[in-house]
């Protein structure tokens, strides 16, 4: 997130030095937060519990700071389903492990189901921005959000595995047929919380591998670094376009 803050600061032509980009949340080890002009860059850890804790703090901060017309975008990495590594997926809907567009949360002793639909206009706008970067494929699709990195995502290489390779492939192929193009562990609660709070939101993740072909990442380190920069490049184009609408000069 610091790397993205430095990157967007340079892209926006902001004055100052790298030393000016400091962790606003240095007093806690829950997450890091950096500010570059009108952009906040925040880490959220791994998984639904971690990102939900961050979102509660962030949304309260935005409220007390009287911020308006806020757009929140999660960027990160994911496992692809039936698409080539390095593809960037813009999520239209986050789905659970049953391919349902919902997030189930237990509140007290009640299961509460929330919608995980994301802003369709924002997704289309991001896809249009991708046309300025022809170097890598960008697409809109469903994103499957799981509670687990190994068995929950159909991996065979964890400490535990209770299914065969055939069952894994059958599950992932069914996921593909229902419109899922990648898997990660945060999008469902992210979509649900942003929707409940009336915040325009998007999820933009690069895929590091095609899960129909393998479970482990085999690309060289320098290739993975370049992959991880792809969502940042896309988001920087979107941010610059947004700021030009506010400052048409």
* The 3-state secondary structure of 147-185, one letter per residue: CCCCHHHCCCCCCCCCCCHHHHHHHHHHHHHCCEEEEEC
Say if residue 77 carries a ligand binding annotation.
Answer: yes
Say if residue 102 carries a ligand binding annotation.
Answer: no
Helix (H/G/I), strand (E/B), else coil: 74: strand
Instruction: Extract the tokens encoding 133.
Output: 């970067």
Say if residue 116 carries a ligand binding annotation.
Answer: no
Say if residue 24 carries a ligand binding annotation.
Answer: no
Say if residue 74 carries a ligand binding annotation.
Answer: yes
Q: What angle do CA 22, 198, 149 make, to 5 degrees?
A: 65
Instruction: Extract the tokens encoding 200.
Output: 């325009």
Say if residue 37 carries a ligand binding annotation.
Answer: no
CB–CB of 105/96 below 8 Å? no
Say if residue 155 carries a ligand binding annotation.
Answer: yes
User: Which positions make up the binding site for substrate?
Assistant: 153, 155
User: Which positions make up the binding site?
Assistant: 30, 74-77, 153, 155
User: Which positions make up the binding site for phosphate?
Assistant: 30, 74-77
């Amino acid at each position: 997130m610091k790397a993205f803050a430095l990157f967007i600061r340079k892209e926006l032509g902001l004055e100052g030095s790298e030393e000016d980009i400091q962790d606003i949340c240095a007093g806690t080890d829950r997450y890091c937060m950096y500010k570059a002009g009108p952009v906040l860059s925040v880490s959220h850890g791994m998984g639904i519990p971690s990102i939900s804790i961050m979102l509660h703090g962030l949304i309260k901060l935005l409220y007390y700071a009287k911020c308006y017309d806020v757009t929140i975008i999660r960027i990160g990495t994911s496992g692809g389903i039936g698409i080539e590594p390095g593809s960037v997926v813009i999520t239209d809907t986050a789905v659970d492990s049953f391919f349902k567009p919902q997030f189930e949360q237990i509140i007290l002793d009640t299961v509460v189901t929330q919608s995980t639909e994301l802003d369709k206009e924002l997704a289309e706008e991001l896809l249009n921005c991708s046309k300025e970067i022809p170097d890598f494929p960008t697409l809109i699709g469903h994103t499957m959000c799981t509670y687990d990195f190994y068995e929950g995502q159909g991996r065979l290489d964890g400490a535990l595995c209770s299914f065969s390779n055939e069952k894994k492939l059958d599950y992932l192929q069914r996921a593909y047929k229902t419109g899922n193009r990648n898997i990660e562990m945060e999008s469902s609660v992210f979509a649900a919380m942003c929707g409940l709070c009336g915040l325009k939101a998007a999820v933009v993740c690069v895929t590091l591998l095609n899960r129909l072909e393998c479970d482990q990442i085999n690309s060289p380190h320098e290739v993975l670094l370049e992959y991880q920069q792809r969502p940042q490049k896309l988001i920087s184009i979107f941010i610059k376009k947004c700021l030009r609408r506010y400052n048409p000069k």
